[in-house]
Structure 1
Amino acid sequence: MSERSINVLAERKKARLDELAKSTASGDGVSLFRDTMRRLARNPVAITGGVLVALFILVALFAPLIAPHDPAQRFDELLDLIRPGTIPGPQDGFPLGSDPLGRDFASRLIYGARQTLFVGVVATLIGLAFGVLIGAVAGAFGGWVDVVLMRVTDVMLALPGLLLAITLVAVASRSTQWTVIFAVAIVNVPIFARLLRGAMLAQRESDHVLAARALGVRERAIVLRHMLPNSLTAVIAQATLTFAVSILDAAALSFLGLGDQDFNRAEWGMMLGVDGQTYFETRPELAYYPALAIIIVALGFTLLGESIREAIDPKNRR
């Protein structure tokens, strides 16, 4: 390479550094949140997942306005059409027909989105809260505290998630909505705990933490102001992925008959298991629609979660 070419490259590099310096000095630097959102906006996978998730949330929130009927009400015009081996399909005022008890199937499918959203959100938040607490304590203190907490999480991770959830639900005398929520939440705890603990350990030896210790900053302030905030990014991305797993686990428990025993409450897993399997040969749509709804929602959260994880990963930055 000629000396002139070297000088040109050096001048370009210097101009680029000057531009970055001016941007930083003027406060125009891009934050992690803005950079992540910009990457997501240019990612077609993230857009697809975001659209699916947004539609699911809108349907769940506005279910009373969208559903044509009360999901628990039985209609005489539908009951009159139910015969052994026959369940009425689409009728006037009932776009998806009836379920085996003469209730509007479309309304129950719409209200099922609300129930699925509630179970998924609450289970994920509970698992996230306890997982963050355990991971933060283990990563901050280390030593025997870390050893004890991580061995407990290792035992929980050694069991398949769904098997652990089934075991926890089976222990309860009567399965309810909250039994399912807490069972799914406990399954998610070790995932968040291990992830946050690893991020906290990586932060312990970082330059800004060492500098804070050298300046005499209290250990509690270092953990709460420096280590924990900088370690939560990956945990938040994992929470989006875990939401999809929570929906699948809750639906699986209901499918197996271990979910909420209130049959008036519309829930996709229960609809798929109780009605869909029992009357599959009579009317397979009773199984197709709930299964399709579960697949679409889980796919949406998976696509969005993977895109968020890739967007905040420093290795993918250019």
Structure 2
Amino acid sequence: MTAPTTPSTSGQRRFRRKSERIDDLAAGRSLSAEALRRLRRDPVALTGAAIIGVFVLVSLAAPLLAPHGATETFPELQENLRPGQIPGPQPGFPLGSDQLGRDFLSRMLLAARQTLLVGVMATLIGLSIGMVIGVLAGAFGGWVDTVLMRVTDVMLAIPSLLLAISVAALAANPSQTTVIIAVAVVSVPIFARLLRGSMLAQREADHVVAATALGVKRPAVVLRHMLPNAIGPVIVQATLTLATAILDAAALSFLGLGDADPGRAEWGLMLAQAQSYLEVRPALAFFPAIAIIVVALGFTLLGESLREAIDPKGRR
């Protein structure tokens, strides 16, 4: 007798997915409950969520965690500042001093709050404006869709960082507000295009056709039947856009188009200021760069896992 053949890896995955869908139908789970269940089992999602959780907690508790203020200088650090020397770690200052004799650890912690504020505000503004454009284009179509999408196409044709630099450069006095606006403008066409596509898919759905046939007014059909079912991919994209917003904000600050206030610590600005001291103390650039990369990675990991959890067809 011949031994039974072992199913291939791809066949095992297909069988497991079918089994999961059968179990979900039998248990009567909703889409959100099923997505949450998948996220709990996904180590990539848990890793991203852990990074984001630590980042948010540190940002919110930064004034309590930071031993000193962002602009506070210390004589014991300044007396050791020389053209070729910046004090490193010492008692009371775990990460040592920056180029002006300030506590580097305190500035790193306080900068996390500014990074979170810029990323969240820029994403929320871009999401709000993009949703308005996407809803109008996807719900009404015709010349409204044509005009709005052509403007969106022009914005998408410009590289995101170049567009952000162009918007930020228009400001006479760069500030945190100009950075938020510049980064938000970059994300508007992304949300608009994505929501417009989801709205177009919902226009032919059975529940939308039924509501229209029953005489439900157009605004009610759009807001009650189309938008709630089309907003899922947009929420997922918002998580991914947060990572991009943090990187773009840091890039603008690095290029000198960010907040020029020396009393406000921000990772991108700290990274730019450290370029003149790389040979003296590389840690001044290393820690802000690692913080930016890790936080952006956390949002990317969670966003990609959330996308796969909501859309099982796109799972690996």
TM-score relative to the length of structure 2? 0.91
Moved over 3 A (4+): 18-21
Matches within 5 A, 1:117-266: 117-266=116-265
Query: What letter is aligned with 1:299?
Result: L
1:71, CA displacement in angstroms? 1.6
8 Å contact kept, 2:24–2:34: no
Uncovered stretches (5+) of structure 1, i.e. residues with no partner? 1-17
Matches within 5 A, 1:1-318: 29-274=28-273, 276-316=274-314
Cα distance in 1 between the residues matched to 2:124 and 2:245: 11
Cα distance in 2 between the residues matched to 1:41 and 1:159: 38
Give 3-state SS (helix, strand or coil) of 2:29's partner: coil
In structure 1, the residue matched to 2:16 is none
1:112, CA displacement in angstroms? 0.9
Deviates most, 242-251 or 218-227: 218-227
Give 3-state SS (helix, strand or coil) of 1:188's partner: helix
Cα distance in 1 between the residues matched to 2:84 and 2:167: 37
Q: Deviations over 1:149-198 (max 9, x none)?
A: 00000010010000001011111101000000000000000000000000
Query: What letter is aligned with 2:275?
Result: Q
Cα distance in 1 between the residues matched to 2:153 and 2:180: 22
Aligned in 2, Cα 1:19/1:145: closer, same or farther, shift over 3 Å? closer
Query: What letter is aligned with 1:217?
Result: V
TM-score relative to the length of structure 1? 0.90
1:212, CA displacement in angstroms? 1.1
Cα distance in 2 between the residues matched to 1:72 and 1:310: 44
Report % sequence identity: 66
Query: What letter is aligned with 1:183?
Result: A
Q: Deviations over 1:32-62 (max 9, x none)?
A: 2211110100001000100001010010011
Cα distance in 2 between the residues matched to 1:84 and 1:187: 40
Query: What letter is aligned with 1:179?
Result: T
1:208, CA displacement in angstroms? 1.0
Q: Over aligned residues, Cα RMSD in angstroms?
A: 1.7
Larger Rg: 1
Cα distance in 2 between the residues matched to 1:172 and 1:108: 26
1:316, CA displacement in angstroms? 4.8
